[in-house]
A = this chain, B = another copy of it.
């Protein structure tokens, strides 16, 4: 059997706390299904590494990581030590761009046993995917400051959208929608206010939709779309958005299903020219780091998405069932604080491992 080579990057804060449970759950399922997973851990892409080396990554990071099939990533950021834009642009955002992980795929699902902050919603009511553009758009890093230190001081930053970049994420989203029973795609826009890039986004949605006649498409401006996430999350099936809009929606969506602590994120290069990266949606969470109370489900579920990505569908579905089974029990001794429980990263991580 071939072996999957996985680069493990725990990063900072709670990233380092949840990672061990992600690996243990993956090892458990790999054993059950006779899959060979080969983990190699790296200490770069962390603020501690930055403090020692003055950079988030070693010079040869790309040659090193490109040899792996996938990257299993915790979280980066210690804003008291390294400014967030430095640490993130020096690691996660660099990986996404240089490994052309142009799809960011994030499930949004109300799981049994998880307390939903919205009234009258039960498991099954909320179950959709967010497809986020992951390499361009509002995250451009182009621009600068002029008239520094004077009253005329002005900063400019450019949003850049390319036909290639927009079309490929839309095609991915349309094709995902086409394979789902409801075949419904919602596009996030703001073409009434953001007058150049967003009308272009709408135009591309319209053009690409012609190739997917079975998919029902609608679009909402991002402001009212966030309102609909709260007021009628059941209407969504697949939601596609630009880098920034996808970012916002994929925190808001999981919050509407109880906690962003359980949400995973696949940073995917569908062409497989470079490794894809799987991570929890929550960040390094400096406020709760070091306490052992972080929710490990996002990390574990990210591992599940990784197996899915490699076509290990049975193993992936078992892993998701195990997560669901443990959450459904609603055992407050096991569940973490963000889910209303009294448990720890360890209690919840081990419960899922055992279930697998």
In the assembled complex, A159 has its CB within 8 A of some CB on chain B: yes
Q: Are A227 and B255 in contact (CB under 8 A)?
A: yes
Name the residue of chain B whose CB is nearest to the CB of A282: B224
In the assembled complex, the CB of A208 is this many whole angstroms from the nearest CB of chain B, namely 14
Name the residue of chain B whose CB is nearest to the CB of A141: B195
Binding-face segment, A24-32, A144-152, A289-297:
A144-152
Of the candidates B85, B152, B226, B250, the one whose C-beta lies within 8 Å of that of A163 is: B152
Chain B residues with CB below 8 A from A197, complex form: 143, 155-157
In the assembled complex, the CB of A330 is this many whole angstroms from the nearest CB of chain B, namely 16
Name the residue of chain B whose CB is nearest to the CB of A79: B192
Q: Are A194 and B161 in contact (CB under 8 A)?
A: no
Chain B residues with CB below 8 A from A151, complex form: 163-164
Contact with B along A227-243 (1 / 0, CB 8 A): 11011000000000001
Of the candidates B83, B145, B227, B255, the one whose C-beta lies within 8 Å of that of A196 is: B145
Q: Are A247 and B230 in contact (CB under 8 A)?
A: no
Name the residue of chain B whose CB is nearest to the CB of A222: B248
Q: Are B156 and A196 in contact (CB under 8 A)?
A: yes
Chain B residues with CB below 8 A from A159, complex form: 143, 156-159
For the complex, what is the distance from the CA of A151 to the CA of B204, rounded to whole Å?
12
Chain A contacts to B: CB under 8 angstroms? 77, 83-85, 87-89, 93, 116-119, 138-139, 141, 143-145, 150-164, 190-200, 222-224, 226-228, 230-231, 243-244, 247-248, 250-252, 254-256, 260, 283
Chain B residues with CB below 8 A from A152, complex form: 162-164
In the assembled complex, the CB of A107 is this many whole angstroms from the nearest CB of chain B, namely 16
How many copies of this chain are found per oligomer? Answer: 2
Name the residue of chain B whose CB is nearest to the CB of A256: B230
Q: Are B157 and A192 in contact (CB under 8 A)?
A: no
Chain B residues with CB below 8 A from A231, complex form: 117, 255
Chain B residues with CB below 8 A from A224, complex form: 251, 260, 283
Q: Are B155 and A196 in contact (CB under 8 A)?
A: yes
Chain B residues with CB below 8 A from A161, complex form: 154-156
Chain B residues with CB below 8 A from A283, complex form: 224
13 contacts between A and B (CB under 8 A): A83-B191, A83-B199, A84-B192, A143-B159, A143-B196, A156-B161, A156-B196, A158-B159, A190-B244, A190-B247, A224-B251, A226-B251, A226-B252
In the assembled complex, the CB of A94 is this many whole angstroms from the nearest CB of chain B, namely 12
For the complex, what is the distance from the CA of A158 to the CA of B160, rounded to whole Å?
9
For the complex, what is the distance from the CA of A196 to the CA of B142, rounded to whole Å?
8
Chain B residues with CB below 8 A from A156, complex form: 158-161, 196-197
For the complex, what is the distance from the CA of A151 to the CA of B84, rounded to whole Å?
34
Chain B residues with CB below 8 A from A93, complex form: 193
Q: Are A223 and B250 in contact (CB under 8 A)?
A: yes
Name the residue of chain B whose CB is nearest to the CB of A189: B84
Of the candidates B138, B230, B247, B254, the one whose C-beta lies within 8 Å of that of A252 is: B230
Q: Are B162 and A85 in contact (CB under 8 A)?
A: no
In the assembled complex, the CB of A160 is this many whole angstroms from the nearest CB of chain B, namely 5
For the complex, what is the distance from the CA of A195 to the CA of B310, rounded to whole Å?
33
Q: Are A162 and B153 in contact (CB under 8 A)?
A: yes
In the assembled complex, the CB of A294 is this many whole angstroms from the nearest CB of chain B, namely 15
